[in-house]
Amino acid sequence: MSRVIVLFVDALGPSMLERFGERLSLAPHRRALRGVLGYSSGALATILTGAPPSRHGRMCLFSRRGADEPSLLSPLRALGLLPRLVHERARLRRWLAKAFAASHGLDGYFALHRVPPSSFAWLDVPEREDLFRAEAIGGAPTFLARARRAEVDVLAARWQLPEEARFEEVEARAANTAPRLAFLYATELDAVAHAEGSHGNRLAGAIDRVSRHLERVYASMARGGEPVETIVVGDHGMADVTRVVDPRPLVPRGGGLDLFVDSTMLRAWGAPGPRARLRLALERARLAGSGRERVALAARDAPVEGAPYGEAIFVLEEGAIFAPSHVGGRVAGMHGYDLGTRSSEAAIASSAPLPVALDRLENVAPFVLEALGAPAAPRASVAPGARA
Ligand SMILES: [Zn+2]
């Protein structure tokens, strides 16, 4: 039985993986993977569970609250009592997000970005648990939970720590305990690629830091002479931003819609009439993106039950972003485009050859469990006496 390292690298798509060059010599078998519609909250949940978003229910940071669910975020409407220049300050919002999460027992990734205060009346956050400690995500067990249940000794990075401190902690623990499964987590590449696009000069440093992190953990785990399998996986790629769209003039007057503006998506809830007016306004603005309603979302395995992420979702063409949006402003790189775009693809690199059928994020969790030889891996039942 080998020991297994899974290194998750945010924004590791096929072209980012190429830039690692010789740096990932531990994992020479490489492939592009079909990603999921949405952002990291959906892709990471898919990597961890092996389930599509339609099953685990995650796609974007913010969803719409179900009519009969308690209104967790509505106290945050009070932000609206402050002048906008004050309540949109990044530092104030970061501080408040931390305090709010701590006092409401939210252990998942939580941020307030630039969400308009009045929207907190109807918004919700699906990720309330620490994904790396959760038993399951939307009912789908994670490979970390399955491994723990099979009494595999698991070391999972604490995503809450700043990158450098997180790397140091994981390396110290790996050196002391030599776990059977180590799950490492790296986000600097995503941040740098958002800030600088694909031509930034900080990428090389970030690639170097994460590569050396992996090498140090590998050295600790391989010390006893047991084989160590290495799997490096990303959640999506990154596109250089070539067009900035101000969403404000696109919103039809007269209301009737609840709207959430992500960086690459406009998500709307409301009656068919106002939704049609919105679609028309977007078409008039010659936004060559794609409006997605229930059928198209279902075809992309997106969560549609109860329309938590929008009754209509308008996805911009690759390279365009909404700014200002409810999650940020202008940046040089972005992801969150439709399936089929290059930036929607993730990448995987592995020490072991990749099975032919491994071509999407859903296949990663079974591959990890297989590498562990974990009995908790989902399998077809086997007749008594047959070889499992
Ligand atoms: Zn990102």
Q: How far does the centroid of ligand 1 lie from the alpha carbon of residue 23, in Å? A: 22
Q: How far does the centroid of ligand 1 lie from the alpha carbon of residue 381, in Å? A: 39
Q: Does the pLDDT at position 290 exceed 80?
A: no
Q: 112 vs 136, which has greater pLDDT?
A: 136
What pLDDT score does 113 carry?
87
- Can you list the domains of the chain with their CATH numbers? 3-56+129-240+341-372 (3.40.720.10), 66-121 (no CATH)
Residue 8: closest CA among 40, 50, 32: 40
Q: How far does the centroid of ligand 1 lie from the alpha carbon of residue 334, in Å? A: 7
Q: 149 vs 282, which has greater pLDDT?
A: 149
Per-residue confidence at 376, pLDDT binned at 50, 70, 90? very low
Backbone φ, ψ for residue 78 (5° rounding): -60, -20
Query: Mean of the pLDDT values across residues 60-81?
Result: 89
What pLDDT score does 383 carry?
41
Q: How far does the centroid of ligand 1 lie from the alpha carbon of residue 288, in Å? A: 22
Q: How far does the centroid of ligand 1 lie from the alpha carbon of residue 239, in Å? A: 11
Q: How far does the centroid of ligand 1 lie from the alpha carbon of residue 262, in Å? A: 12
Per-residue confidence at 292, pLDDT binned at 50, 70, 90? low
Q: How far does the centroid of ligand 1 lie from the alpha carbon of residue 186, in Å? A: 12
What pLDDT score does 108 carry?
87
Q: Does the pLDDT at position 293 exceed 80?
A: no
What pLDDT score does 188 carry?
97
Q: How far does the centroid of ligand 1 lie from the alpha carbon of residue 40, in Å? A: 7
Q: How far does the centroid of ligand 1 lie from the alpha carbon of residue 131, in Å? A: 17
Residue 250: closest CA among 282, 208, 203, 214: 282
Per-residue confidence at 381, pLDDT binned at 50, 70, 90? very low
Q: How far does the centroid of ligand 1 lie from the alpha carbon of residue 257, in Å? A: 27
Query: Mean of the pLDDT values across residues 40-52?
Result: 97
Q: How far does the centroid of ligand 1 lie from the alpha carbon of residue 235, in Å? A: 9
Query: Mean of the pLDDT values across residues 109-117?
Result: 88
Residue 385: count other Cβ atoms within 10 Å of its Cβ.
5
List, in order, residues 6 or more apart from 315 with CB less than 8 Å away.
Answer: 37, 264, 265, 289, 290, 292, 336, 337, 338
Question: How confident is the model over 169-180, as pLDDT tens digits?
Answer: 999 999 999 899
Q: 333 vs 92, which has greater pLDDT?
A: 333
Q: How far does the centroid of ligand 1 lie from the alpha carbon of residue 259, in Å? A: 21
What pLDDT score does 250 carry?
85
pLDDT, the chain, mean? 90
Query: Mean of the pLDDT values across residues 295-320?
Result: 88
The share of the chain scoring above pLDDT 70, in percent, equals 94
What DSSP letter does each residue of 85-109 carry, written as one string? HHHT-HHHHHHHHHHHHHHTT--S-
Q: How far apart, in Å, are the Cα atoms of 106 and each of 98, 101, 124, 163?
A: 9, 5, 12, 21
Q: How far apart, in Å, are the Cα atoms of 67 and each of 10, 70, 349?
A: 33, 8, 43
Q: Does the pLDDT at position 375 exceed 60?
A: no
Query: Mean of the pLDDT values across residues 266-277?
Result: 90
Q: How far does the centroid of ligand 1 lie from the alpha carbon of residue 178, in Å? A: 31
